[in-house]
């Protein structure tokens, strides 16, 4: 049995419960990676895309530039190049919000 298929106390699988969890960090937000054991610790990037782990947990794909139009074009033309240009797989507990796109926080 896969971990994501385990039944929780509410009768749903772990995956079903995780898929109802909303992403907390909006797309376009400037974040700092908070992973002390990683060489990426302290790097600032922008949330480009909301993704999910194999068990449905919310994850974030990050990009170095707040102007994402060129990345959108690359994604539509060459998925492999897009994957090389972004960093994916970060949970919100590994990210510190620095500035939301539409406010001054």
Q: Which structural domain, as residue segments, surrounds residue 82? A: 8-99
Q: Is residue 93 in some structural domain?
A: yes
pLDDT of residue 32: 96
The answer to whether the CB of 52 falls within 8 A of the CB of 92 is: no
pLDDT of residue 96: 96
pLDDT of residue 61: 93
What is the number of structural domains in the chain?
Answer: 1
The answer to whether the CB of 74 falls within 8 A of the CB of 37 is: no
The answer to whether the CB of 68 falls within 8 A of the CB of 46 is: yes
Helix (H/G/I), strand (E/B), else coil: 15? helix
Q: Is residue 75 in some structural domain?
A: yes
Helix (H/G/I), strand (E/B), else coil: 26? coil
Sequence-ordered strand ranges (E) for 39-104: 44-52, 58-63, 87-90, 95-99
The 10 Å CB-count burial string (b at 16+, else e) for 21-59 is: eeeebeeebbbbbeeeeeeeeeeebbbbbeeeeebbbbb
pLDDT of residue 102: 59
Q: What is the pTM of this model?
A: 0.79
Q: Is residue 57 in some structural domain?
A: yes
Q: Is residue 105 in some structural domain?
A: no
Q: Is residue 26 in some structural domain?
A: yes
pLDDT of residue 84: 82
Q: How do the pLDDT tens digits run along the chain, 105 residues long? A: 676 777 778 888 888 888 899 999 999 999 999 998 988 899 999 999 999 998 899 999 999 888 888 888 888 888 888 888 888 889 999 999 998 765 544
């Amino acid at each position: 049995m896969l971990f994501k298929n385990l039944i929780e106390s509410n009768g749903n699988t772990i995956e079903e419960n995780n898929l109802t969890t909303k992403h907390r960090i909006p797309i376009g937000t400037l974040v700092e990676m908070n992973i002390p054991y990683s060489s990426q610790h302290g790097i600032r990037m922008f949330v480009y895309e909301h993704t999910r782990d194999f068990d449905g947990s919310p994850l974030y794909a990050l990009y170095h530039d707040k102007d994402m139009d060129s990345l959108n074009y690359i994604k539509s033309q060459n998925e492999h190049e897009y994957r090389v240009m972004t960093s994916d797989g970060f949970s919100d507990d590994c990210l510190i919000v620095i500035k939301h796109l539409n406010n001054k926080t």
